[in-house]
Amino acid sequence: MNPPKAGDKYRPELSGLPASLYYTNREELPRNKVLIVEGEYKAMTTSIVYDDFRLPIVGLPGKTPSLEILESLDQCEVVYLLLDPDAYIADIGKKSPLIKLAEHFGKRARICYLPHKIDDMIVKGIIGKDEIRWLLRDARRYIA
């Protein structure tokens, strides 16, 4: 499907189609732990490199998904949030998209940070399976 404007990204919400999470493993929904990245491509790329079926990887449809979309992950005990670097930035007096997500999941949220988009780092060979494992191990628990 083509985006509304040439050269723009396809955004389902602008077309009237519903946005949804992208599950790298559709056979089993996440229950214990889940890694959330931003978008389908990042989820697929990260899943291929991480190559561990015990940690489901889910792609968000953008930085600010609806609560209905997030509810399907509410049963997870640990939710790792690894968004693009711009999701950490907020306008004055507003919360960043990352903080809004972390607030939704509360104490279950673990915040990961990379200086660049994860798929770019993977493609350039900067990060691999071991580095992703270390990133998750060192993730900070969200405290409101």
- CB atoms closer than 10 angstroms to residue 117: 20
Domain containing residue 110: CATH number:
3.40.1360.10
What is the tally of structural domains in the chain?
A: 1
Predicted TM-score (pTM) of the model is 0.86
pLDDT in tens, 92-132: 888 899 999 999 999 999 999 999 999 999 999 999 999 99
Q: What's the pLDDT tens digit per position in 9-27? A: 655 555 556 678 888 887 7
Q: Say if 125 falls within a structural domain.
A: yes
**Domain residue limits at 69:** 23-141
pLDDT of residue 4: 62
Judged by phi (left if over 0) then psi (alpha if -120 to 50, else beta), residue 42 lies in alpha
Q: Is 106 inside any structural domain?
A: yes
**Residue 55: inside a domain:** yes
Nearest to 65 by CA among 29, 109, 103, 20: 20
Residues 48-71: what's their mean pLDDT?
Answer: 88
**What one-character DSSP code corresponds to residue 54?**
T
Residue 42 domain flag: yes
**Percent of the chain whose predicted confidence (pLDDT) is above 70:** 88
* Structural domain contains residue 101: yes
Q: Residue 103: which of 61, 67, 62 has the closest Cα? A: 67
Asked if residue 126 is part of any domain, the answer here is yes
Query: Is residue 47 in a domain?
Result: yes
